[in-house]
C-alpha cells in the first residue's frame, strides 16, 4: 500500500479517458502482485488477466480490456494503484514474472486433505475477523483435519466445510457446492409466512399513499398517511441503471431484460450507469418531497449490493462533507494501510430530518449506508442493529473446483470503530427477531398489519 492515506471523493468513472491514458503508459505492462486478496495481475498494453492464487493453483479470475475493468489511480515503476469501481483502491507491487504455478494448466484435485488445506490456508491469510467471531483458527485445523483424513465421499466433505463455516457465523462466507450434493446434505430451510415483497405491499397499503416505483420496485416512495413525512424503501443497492423503458419496469421479465443490457457493458460503465440511475430517480424524489418536513428511509429488507450506490443515496440526505469511514484489508502479513473515504453532499440534497429504519436483515452495502449515517446527527436510526457484515466478498476456488467467499476488508466509522459482528446500533430499538422468518411474521398481529418502527416515527413527529 502507499504510505499515504487515500482520500476518496465520489466521482464519475470515465472509462474512455482512462483507456487512452492506460494505452499511452507502457509502465503498466508486466506482472503485478496485489497487496492482500491473493491475486496477481498481468498487463499487456490495453489487455489484462487477473489471477486468483492459492497454495496449489493459479487460475484466471477474469480478463479483457483494462480500461473497462480498472481506473488507473497512479502508476509508478514498482507501485500500481487501480480502482475497480468501488470505494477501495487496489495496490499492486511489480513482479518479475508470474509464479510458475500460473503457467501450469491446473488439474482438478479431489483430495479432501489438499482441498481442506487450501480452504484453511486461504482463510488464515485473508479472513479478517477471527477475533470478532471468537474463532481460534488453529484449533479449527487441529479439530477438523484428522476428521478430513477419514472422509470417504464428497457429500461428507461438503457437510464438514459447512460445519466449519457455521462456526464462523459470517453471512459473507459462501460455499458454492454442486447441486448434485445438496439433497444429500439434509439441509433445513425455513420459509416466512409471506415473502418480503408482500410485507412491503401490506406496509404501503397500511401506512403509505401516493406510491411510486422505479425499476421493478428496487426503490419505492410515497408519503406517510396523515403526515408531512416522506417514505422510501430500498430493497437492494443495485439495479438502478436506466436500462428499461418506464412502461416495462414492472414486467415479470424485468430482471432478464435488465441483465441482458447490463451484460453488454464493461464493469466500469455498468457501475457508472448505476450511479447515474440513482441521480435520475433521486431528482424526482427530492422534488416529490419538497413539501415534507421529514423522510423515512427503510433499509430493513435490504441485503446489500454496491457500496457506491449506497453512499450515492446517502449523499442526498446529508448537508456537509465529512470523512465518514475507513477501510483496510487483511493480508498474509497483517493488514494494509487504512484508506479514508470522504462523502460529499449531493447538489440538491434533502436537508431536513431523516429516519433510517434498519433490522438484522440490513446487510453489506446497506450497512455501509447505516455506517455513514453515524456521522450525521440529523439521521435518527430506528429498528434493530444491522447484520454486521460489511466487507466485499473475496471469492476463491478450491482445487476441486468448488468456489467460496470470505470477508477480508474491515470497515470503520469516522472514530475508527468497527461494527463487524455487532452491526450498526439504533437510537430506538424495536427488538426485532434475528431470525428472518420471525422478523417478517412479527409485522402481523391477529391478522392486522402493524409496523412498530413507523408507529415510532409518528410518535416522534407529534
Query: Mind spelling out the 3-state secondary structure of 326-368?
Result: EEEEEECCEECCCEEEEECCCCCCCCCEEEEEECCCCCCHHHH
Do residues 376 and 318 touch, judged by C-beta distance below 8 A? Answer: yes
Alpha carbons within 13 A on the beta-carbon side of 113 = 3
In this structure, how many other beta carbons lie within 10 angstroms of the beta carbon of residue 251?
Answer: 13
Q: How far apart are CA 361 and CA 366, in angstroms?
A: 10
Q: How far apart are CA 318 and CA 405, in angstroms?
A: 33
User: So what's the pLDDT on residue 23?
Assistant: 46
User: So what's the pLDDT on residue 2?
Assistant: 37
Q: How far apart are CA 100 and CA 57, in angstroms?
A: 10
In this structure, how many other beta carbons lie within 10 angstroms of the beta carbon of residue 428?
Answer: 17
User: So what's the pLDDT on residue 108?
Assistant: 84
User: So what's the pLDDT on residue 55?
Assistant: 84
Q: How far apart are CA 205 and CA 198, in angstroms?
A: 10
User: So what's the pLDDT on residue 24?
Assistant: 52
User: So what's the pLDDT on residue 283?
Assistant: 97
Annotated domain spans of the chain? 7-103, 112-185, 196-388+423-461
Assigned fold of 7-103: Lipocalin (2.40.128)
User: So what's the pLDDT on residue 41?
Assistant: 97
Q: How far apart are CA 118 and CA 124, in angstroms?
A: 10
7-103 against 196-388+423-461: fold identical? no
Read off the C-alpha cell for 360: 438484522
Residue 29 dihedral angles phi and psi, to the nearest 5°: -60, 140
Assigned fold of 196-388+423-461: 2-enoyl-CoA Hydratase; Chain A, domain 1 (3.90.226)
In this structure, how many other beta carbons lie within 10 angstroms of the beta carbon of residue 166?
Answer: 10
Q: How far apart are CA 246 and CA 213, in angstroms?
A: 10
User: So what's the pLDDT on residue 8?
Assistant: 39
CA 177: distance to chain centroid? Answer: 21
pLDDT tens for the 462 residues of the chain, in order = 333 333 333 333 333 444 444 445 789 999 999 999 999 999 999 999 999 998 888 999 999 999 999 999 999 999 999 999 999 999 999 999 999 889 887 778 889 999 999 999 999 999 999 999 999 999 999 999 999 999 999 999 999 999 999 999 999 999 999 888 876 545 555 555 788 999 999 999 999 999 999 999 999 999 999 999 999 999 999 999 999 999 999 989 999 999 999 999 999 999 999 999 999 999 999 999 999 999 999 999 999 999 999 999 999 999 999 999 999 999 999 999 999 999 999 999 999 999 999 999 999 999 999 999 999 999 999 999 999 999 999 999 999 999 999 999 999 999 999 999 999 999 999 999 999 999 999 999 888 999 999 999 999 998
Read off the C-alpha cell for 320: 456537509
Q: How far apart are CA 38 and CA 408, in angstroms?
A: 11
**CB under 8 Å, gap of 24 or more: what pairs does 322-326 form?**
322/375, 322/376, 322/414, 323/7, 323/375, 323/414, 324/371, 324/372, 324/374, 324/375, 324/413, 324/414, 325/368, 325/371, 325/372, 325/411, 325/412, 325/413, 325/414, 326/5, 326/411, 326/412, 326/414, 326/416
The helices-and-strands tally (H runs, E runs) of the chain is 12, 24
Rounded to two decimals, the pTM is 0.91
Partner residues linked to 323 by β-bridges = 342
User: So what's the pLDDT on residue 357?
Assistant: 98
Per-residue CA distances from 69 to 10, 41, 103, 270 (Å): 18, 12, 23, 10
Read off the C-alpha cell for 32: 503485478
Amino acid at each position: 500500500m502507499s504510505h499515504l492515506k487515500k482520500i476518496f471523493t465520489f466521482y464519475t468513472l470515465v472509462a474512455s479517458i482512462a483507456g487512452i491514458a492506460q494505452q499511452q503508459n507502457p509502465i503498466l505492462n508486466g506482472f503485478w502482485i496485489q497487496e492482500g486478496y491473493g491475486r496477481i495481475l498481468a498487463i499487456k498494453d490495453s489487455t489484462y488477466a487477473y489471477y486468483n492464487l492459492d497454495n496449489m493453483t493459479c487460475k484466471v479470475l477474469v480478463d479483457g480490456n483494462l480500461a473497462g475493468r480498472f481506473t488507473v489511480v497512479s502508476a509508478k515503476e514498482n507501485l500500481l494503484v487501480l480502482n475497480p469501481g468501488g470505494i477501495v483502491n487496489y495496490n499492486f507491487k511489480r513482479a518479475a514474472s508470474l509464479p510458475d504455478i500460473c503457467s501450469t494448466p491446473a488439474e482438478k484435485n479431489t483430495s479432501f486433505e489438499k482441498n481442506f488445506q487450501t480452504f484453511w490456508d486461504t482463510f488464515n491469510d485473508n479472513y479478517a475477523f477471527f477475533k470478532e467471531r471468537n474463532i481460534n483458527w488453529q484449533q479449527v485445523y487441529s479439530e477438523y483435519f484428522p476428521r478430513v483424513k477419514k472422509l470417504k465421499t464428497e457429500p461428507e466433505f461438503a457437510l464438514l466445510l459447512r460445519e466449519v463455516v457455521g462456526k464462523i457465523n459470517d453471512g459473507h462466507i459462501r460455499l458454492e457446492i454442486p447441486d448434485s450434493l445438496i439433497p444429500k446434505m439434509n439441509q433445513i430451510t425455513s420459509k416466512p409466512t409471506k415473502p418480503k415483497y408482500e410485507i412491503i405491499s401490506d406496509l404501503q397499503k397500511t401506512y403509505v399513499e401516493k406510491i411510486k416505483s422505479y425499476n421493478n420496485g428496487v426503490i419505492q416512495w410515497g408519503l406517510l398517511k396523515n403526515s408531512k413525512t416522506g417514505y422510501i424503501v430500498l430493497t437492494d443497492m443495485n439495479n438502478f441503471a436506466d436500462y428499461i423503458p418506464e412502461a416495462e419496469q414492472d414486467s415479470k421479465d424485468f430482471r432478464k431484460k435488465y441483465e441482458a443490457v447490463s451484460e453488454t457493458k464493461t464493469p466500469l460503465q455498468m457501475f457508472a450507469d448505476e450511479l447515474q440511475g440513482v441521480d435520475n430517480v433521486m431528482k424526482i424524489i427530492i422534488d416529490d418531497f419538497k413539501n415534507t418536513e421529514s423522510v423515512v428511509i427503510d433499509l430493513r429488507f435490504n441485503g446489500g449490493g454496491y457500496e457506491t450506490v449506497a453512499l450515492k443515496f446517502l449523499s442526498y440526505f446529508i448537508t456537509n462533507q465529512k470523512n465518514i469511514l475507513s477501510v483496510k484489508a487483511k493480508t498474509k502479513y497483517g493488514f494494509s494501510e487504512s484508506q479514508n473515504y470522504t462523502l460529499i453532499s449531493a447538489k440538491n440534497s434533502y436537508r431536513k430530518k431523516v429516519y433510517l429504519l434498519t433490522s438484522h436483515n440490513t446487510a453489506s452495502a446497506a450497512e455501509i449506508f447505516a455506517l455513514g449515517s453515524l456521522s450525521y446527527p440529523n439521521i435518527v436510526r430506528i429498528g434493530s442493529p444491522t447484520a454486521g457484515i460489511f466487507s466485499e466478498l473475496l471469492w476463491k476456488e478450491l482445487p476441486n473446483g468448488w468456489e467460496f467467499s470470505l470477508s477480508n476488508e474491515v470497515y470503520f466509522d469516522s472514530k475508527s470503530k468497527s461494527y463487524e459482528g455487532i452491526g450498526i446500533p439504533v437510537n430506538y430499538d424495536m427488538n426485532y427477531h434475528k431470525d428472518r422468518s420471525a422478523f417478517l411474521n412479527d409485522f402481523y398481529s391477529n391478522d392486522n398489519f402493524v409496523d412498530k418502527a413507523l408507529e415510532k416515527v409518528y410518535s416522534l413527529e407529534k
